[in-house]
Amino acid sequence: MKTKYIMNLTKKIALTAAVGFFVNLTFAQSVQDGINYVDSQKYAKAKQNYTDLINQNPKDASNYFYLGNTYLTQFDPNFNEAQESFNKGLAADPKSYLNKIGLASIKLGKGDKSAISEIQQIVKDSREKDAEVLFRAGEALTLFEKNSSPDLAITFLNKAIEKAQKGGVPANYYYSLGDAYRLKKDPGNAMSAYDKAEAVAKNKASVYTRKGTLWIAAQQWQQAKENIDKAIAVDPTYAPAYKALAGFNIKYQKNTEATQNLINYTKYADDDPYTKLEIAKLYFTNEDYANAKKTLDEVFDKVNDPIKYKLRSYIQYGDGDYAGAKQNMDTFLSQADKTRIQPSDEGLQGLIAAGLAKTEKDAAVKAQLEAVTQQKIAFAKAAKDETLKWDEELAKIKGGISNASANEGPTNATIDALKAKVAANPKDTDTLYKLAQEYQNVQNWNGAILTWSKMSSALPDWAPAYYSQGYAYQQAGNNEMAKASYEKFISLVKPAEIEASKQSLGYAYFFIAYMEKDTNPEKAKQDIAKSLEYEPTYQDAVNLQKTLNK
């Protein structure tokens, strides 16, 4: 999340120089407090800080800008609240360049790139006299990655830094410059800017965290860990460092550590409803639907952002509640700005329609739902959206595979104990493996399919998970998805693993050839030859080759 620092002294004329100095110093510290809260992802405290400043001095337009900008920089921007605050700022001072930049930022966030020219004009009108206006103009051009202008942002930020030299350049000027270079995919200049920020920052945790995430992006793991550890060492309460460390540990499959990192992140970020909404998303990403639902329920009535309906829709879809999922997705679509609708939302609508079609009795309605399914999922796949495995999810629905269907299947005490462990740590691959095996032992194929799917999400390059998933699909009677899983298994087997995987490769190629023998016999001949290359004595493959060569 981009962060903002500024030391902004009020320009009001005081009765005496001494009193004026005291007032300005107090105001500046309060503004800095708010900026620090935003940087620490304590958005509720930041909003309260700026609200207090407005109540103390409702005629100072800049206070309204800082409050509105907090709504823009939180995890899910609240454009309505931001706009209301910026408009109040302009009512207090119609010439306020900051609030004009704020309104242009909203346009940019909604996808209107004419706002870039608008921001340029605002800077021109200001005659580039105010470092703060230059800084906020540059920052605005980096807030929304898909609608950013990093080159222009770099120009404005460098001018802001030059203008601020006399009084001392705030650290956030430098690390916002680094953020702009990151958007430009220029890590060298980004790191140089962060180095300059480190030299002047009072709390270096923010800079170290940025350096750590930059090293993560470059897959330089040792440097990443060193910098994140430095951030926590200098400020153990700096929430974003724990979130960064969680991302690091997830990549290393250190699931217990990652869980603790997220607990600390929750502990040190504040109880702002939008932050809790973000935490609910993290639970959902970890396929921990119970905690996602619990966290979302805690704040559902406290947030106005329609994103809450989309998240609830995903959770209900995961639980197999297709009617509830449709209702909440429809509410999201009716309330959300069109620029916030993603290809994944189309895909989810398709999956929900498929779920509803399964139990629909009216033939015409059923056909309509199935048409929606094909259209929506095709749209998500064409957009190369990978939020969900669309074909696999569709196959689960058509095969009646859901959490509910798994729970209704055969079980035992071992399964119950393993499920409890997975619920506590959804990315515990050792427990997931044992649970999938136990599901297979009791022939609960739906449970096995779902668990192998979780395993492949946790370890996407681990080939055996896809082979086992193919076997479970086959036993469940879903040959199309079995074929897809075996194909994925084959694609992931590394050269060094071929010798140990020969038997599995032989069977996988045989099954694919068998599925293709009627629709694509030439391809089937190639696959059966590969099967016998790995398993020359496999009699079923020998027989199929004879049939194909007749």
- What's the pLDDT at 29? 45
> Where do the structural domains in the chain lie, given as residue ranges?
31-266, 342-398, 403-549
Q: State mean pLDDT over 346-353.
A: 96
The pLDDT assigned to 521 comes to 92
Determine the pLDDT at residue 287.
Answer: 61
Give the separation between CA 141 and CA 159, rounded to whole angstroms.
14
The pLDDT of 136-153, averaged and rounded, is 94
For residue 169, the SS3 value is coil
Query: DSSP label at 12?
Result: P
Q: What is the dihedral of CA 240, 241, 244, 249, to 10 degrees?
A: -140
Query: Is there a shared CATH topology between the 31-266 domain and the 403-549 domain?
Result: yes
**Looking at the predicted structure, is the pLDDT value of residue 394 above 90?**
no
Give the model's confidence band at 5: pLDDT under 50 very low, under 70 low, under 90 confident, else very high. Answer: very low
* pLDDT in the model for residue 349: 97
Does residue 198 have a pLDDT over 90? yes
Report pLDDT for 15.
Answer: 23
pLDDT score of 12: 23
Region 496-503 average pLDDT: 94
The model's confidence at residue 515, banded by pLDDT at 50, 70 and 90, is very high
More confident residue, 400 or 177: 177
For residue 209, pLDDT beyond 70 = yes
pLDDT tens-digit series, residues 92-116: 999 999 999 999 999 999 989 999 9
- Report residue 235: phi and psi, to 5°: -150, 90
Hey, what are 84's tokens?
A: 């209301």
- Rounded CA-CA distance 501/468 in Å is 13
Per-residue pLDDT at 288: 65
* 403-549 fold: 1.25.40
Which pTM was predicted?
0.62
- Share of residues in the chain with pLDDT > 90 (%): 63
Give burial (CB, 10 Å; 0-12/13-18/19+) of 168.
Answer: exposed
pLDDT in tens, 285-312: 656 677 788 888 988 998 888 889 998 9
- Residue 279, token pair as written in the block: 């935490």
Q: 512: closest CA among 485, 478, 492? A: 485
User: Among the listed ranges 23-32, 254-263, 357-366, 470-479, which one has the minimum average pLDDT value?
Assistant: 23-32
- Identify residue 453 by its one-letter amino acid code: S
Reported confidence tier of residue 337, pLDDT bands at 50, 70, 90: confident
pLDDT recorded at residue 243: 87
Lowest mean pLDDT among 43-57, 194-208, 390-404: 390-404
Q: What's the pLDDT tens digit per position in 406-419?
A: 888 999 999 999 99
Residue by residue, what is the 3-state secondary structure of 205-271?
HHHHHHHHHHHHHCCCHHHHHHHHHHHHHHCCCCHHHHHHHHHHHHHCCCHHHHHHHHHHHHHHCCC
Tell which CATH architecture fits domain 31-266.
Answer: Alpha Horseshoe (1.25)
Q: Is residue 51's pLDDT more than 90?
A: yes
Mean pLDDT of 65-89: 93
Contact 166, 129 (CB under 8 A): no
